Chain A
Amino acid sequence: MKIGIDVGGTFTDAVVLDKGHMRAFAKRRTTHGQIMDGLLAVLDAVCKDVPVEQIEKVTLSTTIVTNVVIEGKEEQTDLYVIPGPGRNVEEAFPVKPIQIPGYTDHQGRVVAYFNRKEVKALMKQEVQAGHRPAAVSAKFAIRNPSEEQALSDLAKQSGYRLVSEGTKLSGALHFPRRTVSAYFNSAVQTTFSDFVKGVQDALKARHIEAPLYMLKADGGSLPIGALTQMPVEAVFTGSAASVLGMKALGGMPTSMAVALDMGGTTTDISLWKEGQPIRARGGVTIRDYPSAVQSFQVESVGIGGESYVSLRKDGTWQVGPERRGPSMALGGESPTLGDALIVAGYADFGDKEWAWQGLTQLTVLMGTFSTNKQRVELGQAKGQKQAVITKQVDKDKVEQVAKAIIEAAVDTIQEGIRRAVTRENKRAVYTVQDIVEAHRFKPESLVGVGGTAGALAPLVAKAMHISVLTPKEAPVANAIGAALAKETVQVSLYCHTGKQELTVPELGLQESNVGIYSMAELLAKGQGYLQDLAKQMGIQENLIVEVVAKEDFPVLDGGYRECRIMNLHLQGKAGVDTYVRD
């Protein structure tokens, strides 16, 4: 049996899954400041009737790292960079970097070694100032990690408690992103380790001996031991859990699809191709700094079931992004999109009378607006209850207002979908073939999950003239996504067949005389390295190897000999290992 726990912004959910069947689930308020309390509360709730020895695996998706970076509470960290010539990076990172002269070029040739003596002296001085962690990153270290590695070794020797290296976190081009990843990786490590220790102690106290896993932003999971080396990967895992949850609950169409996760305040839009969510280019942005942390591409719009409704100056309806509380049908004080959905007959929950009350208020407001051409603020709905009820308002008119409000919400969501699709279709491509035979993303179907999806998703689909699917609602989809997340790791290979050199930055590896001449040979080698890395990280399952990207260039050596430069990026395929049935 597998346990999945998802710590979200509002709720902490837990689920126990037995081969695709949900054995137990629980939902508790997230306890901000004391995440562990809420977490233990759901854990205890779901474990009540489950024999602990049958638990095989516990997977967590938490906001612990997210909260640290959003609140700027990360630990003070010394950032050493070897930027070489190029862009000025003085202001590119969350802290002022300590810049070390030296340079490795785009071919991985060390043009200038950094001065070991000077750097050692400098580090000694810095370390004395406090017992801080450090992060190191060098431009083009992905082509030759030796200088970055040397800098890291020196930092450890100089007494830094822990050191993160950019290339260990990402083998992709983009020095600033790798550097930002390395910085945050070191800066959140203490908080992360403390949290992990807390969870481990709690599991132990409950005699749960199953291994602990944690979800990463890229939708894969890792054994906790491995993730402790790369805690930055556990940032912003909420949307990954949500996307995996959709997949686990089954039936993502194989056509090009738009998925909407419709909550109380926001709707998260993801795009799907062949049953797989599309990944974001580059990586997630952490406090305005683009990092190399991989994720799915998710676009958020401020429309949800509890979106506050107000009248704009021009007489049109403003729906969201503000939320003032629950819908009036659920005891709230101001009318919401959810109330409009009830009045228009698309939803059926709570006290309908109150929903009508709220919408009648808005109708009167609209009437006053039409005659005076002046904007009127809606007061506290409950306070005005008497006044409204005495007025006879035509039922049709109220329904019309509800429909206009829903239309405005659907427009906003469609706008968000258009933005997501445009971004996908503007993805840079670099070959004539990809331009001439452009593969444009065009949504063919829509999938809606979340509290508001049943009522609203069909309306969005109708406006877009595409089919809609609203899978049966599971109240703890994100926890299910976390529980079933496959384990993933990534490796990047860069091979120059002329020089017979191979670099695998994530492994800190540079080999010569590799005997590789073709992409097929490189792929075979890469698969081996991926499995090695998986083993090293304590992954037990067999990974399904996915080619994320590959490039194969015929190039000329200095002596006009033809050879090839090949780039290969492999990962264990992300996704879920089983589907959940009712």
Chain B
Amino acid sequence: MDTTKEYKAEEATIESPLQKLSGSKAVLEALLSENVSTVFGYPGGAIMPIYDALYDYMDKIKHVLVRHEQGGIHAAQGYARTSGDTGVVFATSGPGATNLVTGLADAMIDSTPLVCITGQVFASLLGTDAFQETDVINITAPVTKWNYQVTEAHEIPEALAKAFYIAKSGRPGPVLIDITKNAQIQEFDYQGYKPCARIRSYRPKPIVRPQYIEEAAKLINEAKKPFVVFGQGIILGKAEKEFKKLIEKAGLPSAATVMGLSALETEHPLHMGMLGMHGNYAPNVMTNECDVLIAIGMRFDDRVTGRLDKYARQAKIIHLDIDPAEIDKNVEAAVPVWGDCKETLPMLTELVDKKEHKEWLQQFRELEKEEIKEVINDELNPKEGVMTMGEVLNTLNQLTGGDAVMVTDVGQHQMVTCRYATFNKSKSNVTSGGLGTMGFGLPAAIGAWYGAPDRQVIAIIGDGGIQMSIQELGTIMQFQPKVKILILNNQFLGMVRQWQQLFHDKRYSFVDITSPDFIKVAEGYGIPAKRVDQREGLQSALKEMVDHDGSYLLEVMVGKENNVFPMVTQGSSVSEIRLK
């Protein structure tokens, strides 16, 4: 399938200043002008005029028909995460629109740029409880960066221009435009599409104040034990190189949040692993040992900080973020650096001294050894007994060489993937970090492939999560995205079971989940599939999956009652992280 974006905006824009155009065509012209090549959607009554217009644009805009609107929006999220562009979704009114809500909430908390276009009943029917009418603007207000209801066709170009600008600028987020059916049908004097570059009340890009950069550099230069914690802000700001220059110059050990993974290649000597509840031992312990903590493009989520009043209290905190509402929200910053890290990081690099901090780095490595001995060795290279999720990941790493896009669902397999997958390239970790949406993995992987069709895309999903959006196998069947689906089946809702084991006296309440024969299900969808339940067959099965040119499903039967460790239990400080 052709996924190149050869279409030029100038060709699309209708030159004649006063041409009559329908609202629906204006929507599609706007998408072309914004270089949108792929849309994920599902038709229905109130969005039929847009779908009718789409019929004439099929050669210019690829539309992927999903099997559920929630699948559509997760696919758009996956697309946005691997491409770095804005994901676009079409859905109809009423249930079509309400099915987007989970995806909107997910994109909102994970700062994913999306433009969702929903159909709405005729403006004359608004508020009458018309068929498939729902108050989508009010329902989605708390989970969108901005939303707007269009009731007249002439509003469309400007509304969409604003939507794309708001979704992508500053701290990205989802935008929803609700278009009544009459506005889609209505013809108006089209004057071309003008992209939006500015909104008076919205100022996504602050002027960086050198005073704060100087303060930050001074703290870093004086620090004996500096430590960097980085998040997705680096990926969203496309500042991976700028980030690497800073940490390499100042010799700063750095650890990623779940969302920050892949911003720095896993094997980089200054990469100290992952932070948080199931993160690595060293970065969690050292958070409470460092003297200066430099937080870059991250928001001190509770899963990262553990108990807040025991979080890095000894350290001076420098917080770089583009969203002023994040500064001082959870953790007070001694030096707030408000700005786009693409700008602030080079300014900081300029002022920091060249250092190595050899002894300090060695301390991380010592703790890492402890984690390898206590946890990692058994997880990655078990000699006997049941298969572990870690050994699947370890074998997979050897086959992909760390070049694959890893898409995960939510639960134990997600934490294991985040812990053990190697990432060589940015935008390689697609996961529902903030909202923790089960059912995210499969549709997100479809979108992730459209966003990066030349890359190997592997969806790692549990036996619970796959059943939440298994209908999207139909989308794979029809459109053939080359998605590799790896089900890690432990026959339990594993993460909940782990908590029930550790904190609820093993009272396994409704975590014992039955699964269909996934191989037969895949066969029904025409997707080649295989199951492995013996260690001996693992390597070759994974190789077959990776090498297969097309979608493929592999189910690996792993230990039923394995746990993910280390773990910062709820109410504990990060330095009280448990190794077992």
Do A and B bind? no
